[in-house]
Structure 1
């Protein structure tokens, strides 16, 4: 016996899941609230289960509903993929996209992309997972994120790593610090001053440890953090200096912070898009992915070069 529900019923279900309200879902799919309720009742009758617990104040998924929701989302995403070559389904559908990214990317680059994406696709919800490089990689491999933006993953067999740019590490300091007057700073010079570092859980720490095997600090850092953005806050407060990726630095006209290129050696990292190998992106995620590629020359490339001398 066939299952007696159709695409409209699944879309109604997804709208309620996404918006948490029958009224808002009905408005989103352009039908009356009673009509949307009938679609949900039809889907529940076809499946033989209750998908939502409804009160006068809230709508929540039942246990079975929570299990069914990812399957319904996948069915609709697979259909969108099949139709993508025929028409632009992303402009007329509800949906969501989840991007995992390292904090420097999340703070200094992705906001402008999210704003542009929302302007073009206002009905698609964007979720950012700002995490360490290792956590970004794990989120992509597990499927928690559609894709990631990071500097780790190029050696992993489960993922594809599309390079966006290569950036160098720079010495971050206050404008009134002695290093701010230099045109370049060696790593040995950097470590002569009080400095802040990232801890051993950071992907940047692993990269630097591998690149600086011949440069040993004479004294430990005054403070360790997990994220570069936290480190910059400490530098701004006058706690010392730090080695950071150039993209993490604020704009040149920042009133307090500046940066100087680090040399002997020059240490770089590659930033790229990390996605699961062999798994096509859903249309909502594909559109965001493409927007990042379209933006890299004007946004990320400028950020990577702004401290170069």
Structure 2
């Protein structure tokens, strides 16, 4: 006797598992909630087991459901692999990809990647985990994320770190700030002004503390934050200046913010793609990975910016 369920039923099951809600799952696969419930019931009837425990407040997997979930995921991934060999299926491919990324990369660089990816694969759902560098590593190692984009990981035994680019730290300031008129700024010059910084939980703070052991600020920072993106908001509000990775800066046409290269010393960080060692990427993650590489190559081939006061990545 054949098993009477189809691909749509498996996709409905995966959506409920990921989102923990029949309503949210129905929205994600673009059907009504009653229609999604019927797909789940059809799958349960075909398997002869209950996959979910439902109450008015929550949806949880049964013991059998927890065992079945990885198999369902593998079935869908295997189908995606098969579709890779068929031409002109990009507009109809299904799947999902989860990327962990440090906020300084997620804010300005990654949105272009997601937009390009969505145009090519509109039915593949993307989930971004914008987290600290240490949390990015943990997400990749635990399997919560398919891969990560970060600046630490090259020394970790459990992951592979493939360098994507190398970027320098720049002085971020308002366009009406005195530093904005300079072609370059030393760290000592930066610290002559009121400045804001990231706190000691930040991977960027650790990197800067190691690189600037010979540079001593004259006064403590006006304010500390956990993420670089918050620093930029404070600078835009006129709270001072800050040292940030060049990739964290908005485009050169930003009406308020600009940046100047920092020297004496030049401090750089390597941004790379972090994957768990020994674990193959899913087809959807492979395509997202490829999109990042393609867009990075496109940026490399673009002519450098000529306007003064804006640092190149």
| TM-score category (smaller protein) | 0.7 to 0.9
Root mean square deviation, CA, Å: 3.2
- Distance in structure 2 (CA, Å) of the matches to 1:253 and 1:25: 36
- Checking the alignment, whether the CA contact within 8 Å between 2:92 and 2:122 is kept in structure 1 is no
- Distance in structure 2 (CA, Å) of the matches to 1:25 and 1:149: 25
Trace 1:99-138 onto structure 2 (pairs within 5 A).
99-138=99-138
Trace 1:25-44 onto structure 2 (pairs within 5 A).
37=38, 40-41=40-41, 43-44=43-44
SS at the partner of 2:233? helix
**Offset at 1:187?**
0.7
2:9 matched residue in structure 1: 12
**Offset at 1:275?**
0.8
**Offset at 1:158?**
1.1
Change (3 A) 1:122 1:149: same
Change (3 A) 1:95 1:11: same
- Distance in structure 1 (CA, Å) of the matches to 2:295 and 2:44: 43
- Checking the alignment, whether the CA contact within 8 Å between 2:90 and 2:120 is kept in structure 1 is no
- Checking the alignment, whether the CA contact within 8 Å between 1:246 and 1:303 is kept in structure 2 is no
- Distance in structure 2 (CA, Å) of the matches to 1:184 and 1:282: 44
Aligned length: 298
Structure 1 residues 51-101: Cα deviation after superposition (integer angstroms, max 9, x where no partner): 24679x9995543435533431134324544x3663367654432110010
- Distance in structure 2 (CA, Å) of the matches to 1:201 and 1:26: 39
SS at the partner of 1:298? helix
Structure 1 residues 140-191: Cα deviation after superposition (integer angstroms, max 9, x where no partner): 1110000011111111111111111111000011112111121111111111
**Offset at 1:48?**
3.5
Structure 2 runs not aligned, ≥5 long = 17-21
- Checking the alignment, whether the CA contact within 8 Å between 2:141 and 2:158 is kept in structure 1 is yes
- Checking the alignment, whether the CA contact within 8 Å between 2:53 and 2:62 is kept in structure 1 is no
- Checking the alignment, whether the CA contact within 8 Å between 1:90 and 1:283 is kept in structure 2 is no
Q: Which moved more, 1:61-70 or 1:97-106?
A: 61-70
Which residue among 294, 299, 311 is the counterpart of 1:307?
311
Trace 1:1-309 onto structure 2 (pairs within 5 A).
5=3, 9=6, 11-18=8-15, 20=22, 37=38, 40-41=40-41, 43-45=43-45, 47-52=47-52, 60=59, 62-64=61-63, 65=65, 68-78=68-78, 80-81=80-81, 83=82, 86-87=85-86, 91-299=91-299, 307-308=311-312
- Checking the alignment, whether the CA contact within 8 Å between 1:146 and 1:285 is kept in structure 2 is yes
- Checking the alignment, whether the CA contact within 8 Å between 1:16 and 1:25 is kept in structure 2 is no
Change (3 A) 1:237 1:13: same
